[in-house]
Each structure stands twice: as C-alpha cells, then as structure tokens.
C-alpha cells in the first residue's frame, strides 16, 4: 500500500472488525459527500483514515465483485483498497476495477460533477478514459 506509510498509520484513525468497518466506511463516504453504496465491501478487516492527508485504506478478507444493478456494471474490489479523499472526490484510487465490455479497467479517480444525489459521478482510469453515471445508482437506502 504505497499511500499508507508508517507516518500515515501513526496519525490515522484505525478500526477493525467487519461491522464497525462497514459503519466507518459509510461515515467517511458521507463526510466527503459521496454516495453511501460506492464501497460495498464484505468481511472488512481494517479501515484507516488519516484526516490530515485524506488517505483512506480498507482491507477485506478476499476480493469481491459487485454488480451495480441500476447501471448493469460489474466492479471488482481487491483485498486492499486505498485512496486520497476530499469533498466530492476520491483520487489516487487503487484496488478497484470496472468491467468494460470484455476487459477490466483500473479506476483511479471518482469525482462528483455536483454534490447532490441528483447529480452525476465521473469514473476515470489512468489512461484517461472516463464514464459518467447518475449518483443515484450508488445510493443504498439507509436502514433505520
């Protein structure tokens, strides 16, 4: 994990255990105005967040593939996902790939065009390719 140095770990809030990690992941997404269903990870072992640098990391027991039904897209999440976050943007993303036709492309940035649930979210790759989808496709109803 290139972003997660010893210095970052020393400053970070670190959480363990699947249930607490899922909750903290949703809290971070809410804090940066991103949709709550963007990281549908399972069996999360650790979540870390260094607020000073915006570095976030998540470790899960095994890679998973999730289908976002509203847009018919498959997304693969590796055992380690890292990123730098700020309001409306996730950048320097690692560990996440999306299936485009017959190939998996590595995503490295997600950005909102406007911070509202009626807006759009843009997914970018290292090669400059991008796709835009409605934010609503990544929102999961909150259980009260």
Tokens encoding 57 = 């990391």
Question: Predicted confidence band at 112 (pLDDT cuts at 50, 70, 90)?
Answer: very high
SS3 21: helix
What would the pLDDT profile of 44-78 be if each residue is shown by its tens digit? 999 999 999 999 999 999 999 999 999 999 999 99
User: Cα separation of 27 and 95, whole Å?
Assistant: 20
Cα distances (Å, whole numbers) of residue 67 to 6, 49, 60, 100: 34, 26, 18, 13
Determine if the pTM surpasses 0.85. yes
Of 23-27, 89-93, 113-117, 129-133, the poorest mean pLDDT is in 113-117
DSSP 27-76: HHHHHTT--TTS----SEEEEEEETTTTEEEEEESS-EEEEETTTTEEEE
51-57-61 Cα angle (round to 5): 150
Tokens encoding 59 = 């470790």
| Residue 41 · residue 81 · CB < 8 Å | yes
What is the structure's pLDDT at 128?
A: 87
Tokens encoding 12 = 């970070």
In the chain, where the domains are located: 6-138
| Arithmetic mean of pLDDT, 92-114 | 93
Cα distances (Å, whole numbers) of residue 79 to 103, 119, 140: 20, 30, 22
């Amino acid at each position: 994990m290139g972003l997660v140095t010893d210095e970052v770990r020393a400053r970070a809030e670190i959480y363990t255990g699947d249930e607490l990690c899922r909750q903290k992941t949703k809290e971070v997404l809410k804090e940066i105005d991103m949709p709550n269903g963007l990281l549908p990870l399972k069996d999360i072992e650790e979540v870390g967040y260094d607020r000073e640098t915006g570095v976030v990391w998540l470790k899960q027991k095994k890679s998973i593939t999730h289908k976002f039904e509203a847009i018919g897209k498959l997304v693969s999440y590796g055992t380690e996902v890292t990123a730098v976050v700020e309001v409306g943007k996730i950048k320097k993303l690692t560990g996440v790939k999306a299936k485009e036709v017959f190939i998996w492309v590595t995503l490295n940035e997600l950005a909102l065009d406007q911070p509202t649930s009626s807006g759009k979210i843009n997914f970018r790759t290292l090669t400059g390719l991008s796709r835009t989808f409605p934010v609503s496709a990544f929102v999961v109803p909150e259980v009260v």
